[in-house]
Amino acid sequence: MAEPIRVVVTGAAGQIAYSLLYMIARGEVFGKDQPIVLHLLDIPPMVGVLEGVVMELADCALPLLVEVVPTTDPAVGFKDVSAAFLVGAMPRKEGMERKDLLSANVKIFRTQGQALDKFAKKDVKVLVVGNPANTNALVCSSYAPSIPRENFSAMTRLDQNRATSQIAAKLGVPISAVKNIIIWGNHSSTQYPDAGQAKVTANGTVKSVVDAINDNGYLQGSFVETVQKRGAAVIAARKMSSAMSAAKAACDHMHDWWNGTAPAQFVSMGVFSDGSYDSPKDVIFSFPVEIKNKQWKIVSGLTLSDFAKTKLSVTGKELQEEKDEALSVLDSNVSNL
């Protein structure tokens, strides 16, 4: 058996974590022969609920789960971790704008960045799930200068999975038949779900999704809108935000980061922008990436339509605004200290 790795999940008493912890502890992310020590971090009012989660994990009798460390102390939560799922954030309520979330979350992710910097392994892989995920990841990274910035990413895999599911349903094919759907930009309603590079396998032949669907009105209209607004639709129906699907997407994201992508396949991750595809530099922007040896690389040389370029410009502008706003919140916090 391999040496155990330490994995932290924040917001560990919450809805997403309730599905996520089980998936991680079963070996669906780091492999079926990788023992795990799970660190469960949450805020003091959630301690009672956290105890119940610890009991349930014990009652699952999972062979790979070596130890569970429940804590409210970031110093304990982030100690020697190799992977971090930052799920805990100020939640979004129905009718709430993302901008309202920013100032509350900036403080949370500053604290977590500082704790990662001091206590985590330097090669830790950090996945931010809590919204606004892109800007939270940016803030977190800026307070962890000793950890490479490419080790911080934001989750847009839920959007990718949502988009892939919509296309598979539209074409009447299994999910596994659709590859290389891209999410560009922010994990918000400005994101651009792009089927322009995607491939579908049907009756043994591979063709482009654009040709298979043969309806630009759909691909530029209701497809994009459905994916952009899916989170709000789930909240309206469930009276709570996406949890099971968010947990599955977090597992998919970290699994591919850890184990790599298949040849000629790419996945969407929010990562630091180098200005590719005319995106603003130094924001966390969702790109198609290929992954080898736990290192992601932005897929280059894709041809974008004018429609796509317009959409990328809109989401890029929003991310730049969010970044500027987050930095001004941080500046005012610093001057108030």
Pair 34, 161 in one domain: no
Residue 289 lies in a domain: yes
Q: Is the pLDDT of residue 334 over 60?
A: no
Q: Give me Rg for the CA atoms of the chain.
A: 19
Instruction: Judge whether 248 lies within some domain.
Output: yes
**Are the beta carbons of 69 and 38 closer than 8 angstroms?**
yes
CATH number for the domain including 56? 3.40.50.720
Q: Are residues 207 and 284 in the same domain?
A: yes
The 10s digit of each residue's pLDDT in 92-148 is: 666 766 667 777 899 899 999 999 999 999 999 999 999 899 999 999 999 999 999
In a domain, 137, yes or no: yes
- The answer to whether the CB of 164 falls within 8 A of the CB of 135 is no
pTM for the full model? 0.96
Q: What is the mean pLDDT of residues 332-337?
A: 54
Residues known to be catalytic: 187
Residue 276, domain member (yes or no): yes
Residue 322 has pLDDT above 70, yes or no: yes
151 is in an annotated binding site: no
- The CATH number of whichever domain residue 185 belongs to comes to 3.90.110.10
* Count of domains for the chain: 2
Task: Check whether residue 206 and residue 101 sit in a common domain.
Answer: no
The reply to whether 202 falls in a domain is: yes
Cβ atoms of residues 65 and 25 within 8 Å: yes
Residues 150, 201: one domain? no
Whether residue 282 is found in the same domain as residue 192: yes
DSSP-H helix ranges across the chain: 15-25, 47-59, 74-77, 98-119, 133-142, 157-171, 209-213, 216-220, 222-228, 230-238, 244-259, 306-336
Question: Is 230 a known ligand-binding residue?
Answer: no
Residues 304 and 188 reside in one and the same domain: yes
Q: Is 238 annotated as a binding residue?
A: no
pLDDT digits (tens, 9 = 90+) for 202-239: 989 999 999 999 999 999 999 999 999 999 999 999 99
* CA 176 – CA 107 distance, rounded (Å): 40
Are residues 142 and 237 located together in one domain of the fold? no
Please check whether residues 183 and 170 belong to one and the same domain.
Answer: yes
**140 & 188 share domain:** no
Containing domain of residue 55, as a range?
A: 5-154
Does 98 appear as a known binding residue?
yes
Asked if the model's pLDDT at residue 335 lies above 70, the reply is: no
Query: Among residues of the chain, what percentage have pLDDT more than 70?
Result: 96
Q: Is residue 117 part of a domain?
A: yes
| Cα angle for residues 153, 200, 305 (degrees, 5° grid) | 65
Instruction: Tell me the average pLDDT of the chain.
Output: 95
- Say whether 131 counts as a known binding-site residue: yes
187 and 48 within one domain: no
